[in-house]
Structure 1
Amino acid sequence: MAAAASPRGKQWGEPRALGRAVKLLQRLEEQCRDPRLDMGPPSLRHLLPRTAQLLRDVAKARRETPGDPEGPGGAGDFLVIYLANLEAKGRKVAELLPPRGRKGADEEVFRESSRFRRQLAKLALIFSHMHTELNTLFPGGKYCGHLYQVTTGSAHTFWREHCGARCVLPWAEFQSLLCACHPVEPGPTVQALRSTMDLTCNGHVSVFEFDIFTRLFQPWPTLLRNWQLLAVNHPGYMAFLTYNEVQTRLQAFRDKPGSYIFRPSCTRLGQWAIGYVSPDGSILQTIPLNKPLSQVLLKGQRDGIYLYPDGKNHNPDLTELCQAEPYQRIEVSEEQLQLYEAMNSTFELCKICAERDKDVKIQPCGHLLCSHCLAAWQQSDSQTCPFCRRQIKGFEAVSICQAQERSVEVRKTAEDSRDNYPQGTAHWELEPVTPSEPPLPPEDRSPRRPQDKGWLAVAPITLPRLRAPLPLPKIASVLWEVTDRPQARQGDTESS
């Protein structure tokens, strides 16, 4: 779509298109008033008026703030694509619903197992995704798509580096960008990938849809492998299935406890919903918050809960998805080290319990704490960060440098340096690091002995004589390396 299309559309066509969309939603709302059409969740009766109000808010904000980003893939382009898709999906809903005033019992759409009812349920899911997408990119009606932060750090970097400030782009262009780092076979596999990622079924990918996909199938390094094992090859995966349809599908397996299916949650996008038959024959549904699906399914298999995907006897082995991923390494600046040392604490100590080391990073805000405290915090039904109160959309394991590991690295570096530098010319430099969270005062200010929290007690190491003595702090997170620059740490401007 041309870059100049957005301003022209906003001046001449966008207000009318927004008005037509609101009127369409109002007509559909009147057609959905028959209580027999209640489907939930999601329910068109609730979605249609909420979407109409949000579009009114967008129209008002667009009139009052004409300076919204209007480049390719910006607010204007998104609304052109969104409103065209809304009109097309709205016409399909209108064709399925009985005309106003007709409430005949013979209408196929009222029968739970009919083809028309299934089509209406899928359209309700698409409308739900469209409402959430619009509300996310235009909160309160004001466009924020160019500032949207993808939950997974690596995925966010990918989008901004390849797509810039755009919030939406055509599927063909996105596919070529993604396949450059995550190759995928052409043909049916690509079509399956598109049907999984394109939640609103409009032939484009928004930054919101990309975020949902990468949250469901993280981690990023094995994104498409995870997707293929969970969404393509696994018999328990169900796409575009509503809560009620899960109940109906599992009814056939009530005499086979351990039967289960899973789907992307329609009420908490980016999370998984699992339906299963309990030992007493009840059909239950659960959403495991912020946990990799593979881990949840494997644990459920060991506990005898998730045994038969869609009633089938073969339960795929997901062990390879649970292999330990490389921990993100958290490094600390010298200034932070000195600050924590002055407070008789360490950077790695969890600031909530003051007992265990930090080992998880909350996404997307990046705050650090220990896994025990995070679990306890979430069990209290809190889904916001305990430090900044931003919504928790996930977390990843991290590793603060341990004393033993760093001592080995220091010794190994010293040994290697003998082969690369003449006697008496080895020099040391502290790596530049970026702190991952602002320093927080510790909960426990009592003095701690080095052996309590793994402080680094530097053992005597035989090193080439330094040009000037440099004291080593007793913190495990200090990173040292032999540089190939012929200059001392304390004199960057000094010539060799």
Structure 2
Amino acid sequence: MAAAAAAPRRGPDGEPRALARAVRLLQRLQERSAAARLSANPPALRDLLPRTAQLLRDVARARRAAGGGPEGPGGAADFLALFLANLEAKARQVAALLPPRGQRGAGAGPFQEGSMPRRQLAKLALIFSHMFSELSALFPAGKYCGHTYQLTKSAAHTFWREHCGARCVLPWAEFESLLCTCHPVESGSTAHALRATIDLTCNGHVSIFEFDIFTRLFQPWPTLLKNWELLAVNHPGYMAFLTYDEVCARLQACRDKPGSYIFRPSCTRLGQWAIGHVSSDGSIVQTIPHNKPLFEALLDGQKEDFYLYPDGKNHNPDLTELCHMEPHQLIHVSEEQLQLYWAMNSSFELCKICAESNKDVKIEPCGHLLCSRCLAAWQQSDSQTCPFCRSQIKGREVVSIHRSRGRPAEARAAAVSPGSSDGQENREDTLGQVVPSAPPLSPPLDLSPPLDLPPEQPRSKGQLKVGPPAFPKLRAPLPLPRIRTSLSAPREATSRPRAGEGATENS
């Protein structure tokens, strides 16, 4: 870690050589690991090593094509210098755990069940997985995008860009001082634990990608560190740097105690949680709840008798206080826009997929709005992309729509980011409230306001049988006025989906 933290900035001539040396190092490590009996479950080194090497080749090719122009501190050159130094240090640690050349890895060392070297190798495989994900996010297809990377949570994105500008990485000490401006951190063991949680790649720095993952795991933003303390520091069910296989092994001791559970950050879907629990028949199940705060998933599971005994212990922490701490942002639709909706015999509140229920959930980070029933059915069809813009769904946030001051349906929806809410409602720079003075709304018909893109049909499973009706055909988009926004903090009412719903963690 010290070597990575003190990595020098490489000049334009040194970077290509460093990239080529890293590729050769990964190739040699791949040959060593091929002879060893390593787990095929994610994260698997035999898959990660060649993929990382190929991505580094793409990065080198893109950097040559770009000519390596001037960059400020914390840009692509600084990130790559840190990344390559860290990669070399972690590769040496893996090599020290693998059997010597020509010797099969049977029976001893990291391949003995439950041994410390095996645990160390599993943790290193997780770090390699995090490093590959980070490099893929900041250099998609080899091209640098760290200066334009969009954090999933809009408040977290605003914080990073206001304090860090175009930088994509900064030292931990500097990041900690910046975070303290809005989320004070106690010095000592608390700060050390926070660093261990955020610094996924263990290099003494924090990248914009790592910060994005942390804010997604411990949402909502206003109570970020409070959530982290309750869920990671004080909760006995939290497990850091654990793999799928290790969760199964740990829960084996609780097979006679259904309702025992542990949770960890997913290694296959960074930014989401994987929860393992012992079912009523004694089997071990691991699931990834669909994009929702962890405390909601744990409370729902407690009601269903799934999550009762964290790590087999009888005391299950009370997380209900987290339900009442999340504030909302509210948007208000302008009078002009409401009149356009009224002219189409529709309303801003109405979900534009089913045309039956009101919007009550926002997709992150794109910001499109729809009803939770449609989103649940959409994600049950194995689609993890937005039905309007096809961008990846990285999270969702509950929204609410109310009437205000007796006026007709002044639309109030929570947490709309600088994108669009249903394809057309865009944010204005001006903050404030516009109270419409227009006739009452007509009853909703089977007409939907036009969208920039029509909803996409689910992949592979055909027409949805559960949830919203068939998606309506939508007309060509019309220009609509922009939305004015204001902030408020009402109390959120959480929904109660079944705790067992969600994607199954890959094995």
TM-score, structure 2 as length reference: 0.79
Contact residue 354 and residue 374 of structure 2 kept, 8 A: yes
Counterparts of 1:313 and 1:225, CA distance in 2: 23
In the alignment, what sits opposite 1:196? 197
Aligned to 1:230: 231
* Per-residue deviation, 1:173: 0.2
Q: Whose helix fraction is larger, Structure 1's or Structure 2's?
A: 1
Letter in 1 for 2:285: L
3-state SS of 1:362 partner:
strand
Do residues 42 (structure 1) and 43 (structure 2) align? Answer: yes
| Compared CA separation, residues 102 and 435, structure 1 to 2 (3 A) | closer
Amino acid at match of 1:337: L
Which residue number in structure 2 is paired with residue 167 of structure 1? 168
SS in structure 1 at match of 2:400: strand
CA contact (8 A) 2:235 2:317 kept: yes
Residues 450 and 106 of structure 1: CA distance in aligned 2, closer, same or farther (over 3 Å): closer
Distance (Å, rounded) in 2 between the aligned partners of 1:405 and 1:449 = 11
Please say which structure displays the higher CA radius of gyration: 1
The answer as to whether partners of 2:9 and 2:78 remain within 8 angstroms in 1 is no
Cα deviation for residue 196 of structure 1 reads 0.3
Q: Output one character per residue of 1:214-270: Cα deviation in whole Å (capped at 9) or x when no partner.
A: 000000000000000000000000000011000111111111111110000000000
Find the aligned partners of 1:399 and 1:188 in 2 and give their Cα distance: 39
Offset of residue 104 of structure 1? 5.6
How far apart, in 1, do the equivalents of 2:40 and 2:409 lie?
61
Question: Residue 94 of structure 2 aligns with which residue?
Answer: 93
Cα contact 2:366–2:420 (8 A) shared by 1:
no
Cα distance change of structure 1 residues 434 and 119 upon mapping to structure 2, 3 Å threshold: closer
Q: CA deviation at 1:371?
A: 1.4
Alignment partner, residue 496 of structure 2? none
How far apart, in 2, do the equivalents of 1:360 and 1:258 lie? 30
Greater CA deviation, 328-337 or 399-408? 399-408
Q: Secondary structure at the match of 2:226?
A: helix
What SS is found at the alignment partner of 1:305? coil
2:152 equivalent in structure 1: 151
Larger RCO, structure (CA 8 Å, separation 6 or more): 2
State the one-letter code of the partner of 2:242: L
Question: How far apart are the structure 1 equivalents of 2:420 and 2:58?
Answer: 39
Matched residue, 2:306 = 305
Report if aligned partners of 2:342, 2:442 keep a CA contact under 8 Å in 1: no
Alpha-carbon shift at residue 66 of structure 1 (Å): 2.1
Give the Å deviation of 1:306. Answer: 0.6
Does residue 384 (structure 1) correspond to residue 375 (structure 2)? The answer is no
Taking structure 1 as the reference length, the TM-score comes to 0.81
What is the aligned partner in structure 1 of residue 78 from structure 2?
A: 77
1:261 matched to which residue of 2?
Answer: 262
2:117 alignment counterpart: 116
Match in the other structure for 1:274: 275
Closer/same/farther in 2, CA of residues 317 and 27 from structure 1, 3 Å limit: same
Structure 1: how far apart are the matches of 2:484 and 2:181? 36
| Residues in 1 aligned to 2:343 and 2:79: alpha-carbon distance in whole angstroms | 52
CA–CA separation in structure 1 for the residues paired with 2:9 and 2:34: 38
Q: Distance in 2 between matches of 1:434 and 1:148?
A: 14
The question of whether the paired residues in 1 share the 8 Å contact of 2:59 and 2:143 is answered with yes
Q: 2:424 aligns with which of 432, 439, 442?
A: 439
Q: For residues 212 and 479 of structure 1, do their structure 2 counterparts lie closer, same or farther at Cα, with a shift above 3 Å needed? A: closer
Task: Indicate the percent of aligned positions where both proteins have the same amino acid.
Answer: 73
Matched position secondary structure for 2:74: coil
Counterpart residue identity of residue 271, structure 1: Q
Distance (Å, rounded) in 1 between the aligned partners of 2:420 and 2:96 = 57
Contact 1:328 1:399 in 2 (8 A): no
- Of stretches 331-340 and 159-168 in structure 1, the one that deviates more from structure 2 is 331-340
Residues 333 and 434, structure 1, Cα contact 8 Å, conserved in 2: no
- How is 1:238-387 mapped onto 2 (pairs within 5 angstroms)? 238-323=239-324, 325-387=326-388
Closer/same/farther in 2, CA of residues 344 and 262 from structure 1, 3 Å limit: same
Task: For residue 360 of structure 1, report the CA deviation from its aligned partner.
Answer: 1.5
The letter for the 2-side match of 1:281 is: G
Does the CA-based 8 Å contact 1:332-1:435 persist in structure 2? Answer: no
How far residue 9 of structure 1 moved from its aligned partner, in angstroms, is: 2.4
Report the Cα distance in structure 2 between the residues aligned to 1:8 and 1:205, rounded to whole angstroms.
Answer: 17
Between the aligned partners of 1:271 and 1:362, the Cα distance in structure 2 is 15
**Residue 328 of structure 1: CA displacement?**
2.4
Aligned pairs, number:
423
1:343 CA drift (Å): 1.5
| Match in the other structure for 2:12 | 11
Q: Mark the runs of 5 or more structure 1 residues left unpaired by the alignment.
A: 410-432, 441-447, 454-476, 481-496
Deviation of 1:10 after TM superposition, in Å, equals: 4.0
Q: Counterpart of 2:274 in 1: which secondary structure?
A: strand
- Of the structure 1 ranges 324-333 and 38-47, higher mean CA displacement relative to structure 2 is found in 324-333
**1:8 CA displacement:** 7.6
| Deviations 1:50-92, CA, capped at 9 Å, x for gaps | 0000000000000001256611100000000000000000110
Distance 1:77 1:408 in 2: 51
CA RMSD, Structure 1 to Structure 2 (Å): 2.5
Contact persistence 1:330–1:400 (CA under 8 A): no
The CA distance in 2 between the partners of 1:188 and 1:166, in whole Å, is: 28
